[in-house]
Structure 1
Amino acid sequence: FLMGQPRIFFSMSRDGLLPEYFARVHPRFRTPHVTTIWTGVVVAALSAFCNIDEMANLCNIGTLFAFVLVCAGVIILRRKDPDRPRPFRVPGGIVMPILGILFCLFLMNGLDKVTWLRFGVWLAVGLAIYFAYGFKRSALRAR
């Protein structure tokens, strides 16, 4: 989480989904130092006050959901834009992303109801913030 999340926040900021402050890059190391520091502070605070098992379950369900979206995106893009040049071909064609979705959903199904409830609340809050703040500001949407 600590390795990848700062880059996600950095990319979201460059797209306009987060304030521009989070898109800053360290002048010497060329890394997203602002989002790295913020992510570290938030994770440290959460780990001090939250149960580690509950946090692991939330991280798992969120990551699995992201994998489902990526697999679905592969399927949709293959159908919607079949002539696009693709430097990487998914082994197994359309079967692999379908299996990816099924396996991720299977693993998600094994998580408890409280995790699903928290995930639903977190997703609803994220979508509300996106539509209230980021939807109008998205550079990708403008293209």
Structure 2
Amino acid sequence: MRTFDFSPLYRSTVGFDRLFSLLDQVGGVESGTTYPPYNIERTGENAYRITVAVAGFTEKELGIEVKENTLTIRGEKQETEESKSSNVLYQGIAARAFERRFQLADHVEIRGARLENGLLHVELVREIPEAMKPRTIPITNGSAKVIEAKAAA
């Protein structure tokens, strides 16, 4: 496997340290963890959905948190008296605790989450602030007057 040294770029860039950290982590973050399975889909031009298979979990046993552009989905199965007293001969449905993390791009917001048929759907939207959207600057010819703003004295 190839590794890249980003240290020379740190000397000539400002504000890209998070990007370089993400690039360093690629390949090592998800190694070995496949539970629970999930999908990431694009549902519109700036809309996304993360779907996580959480069969057997209730809303109370699941948690969603966003902190510093990281979406964390946690699940912890609560053991009930019924499950303690039952004699399971084979358990193919996993009921172990999990924590799944997703790195979000800047300006991605969570619109909502719903649990439906054993699938947790998390709706995301990327909304770029008006100040960051491209805008057109009108060009005038040399004969046009420039309007000066006078300060009130």
> How would you bin the TM-score normalised by the shorter chain?
under 0.3
- The structure whose RCO (Cα within 8 Å, separation 6+) is larger is 1
- TM-score, with length taken from structure 2: 0.24
The structure in which a higher percent of residues are strand is 2
The structure in which a higher percent of residues are helix is 1
The structure with the larger Rg is 2
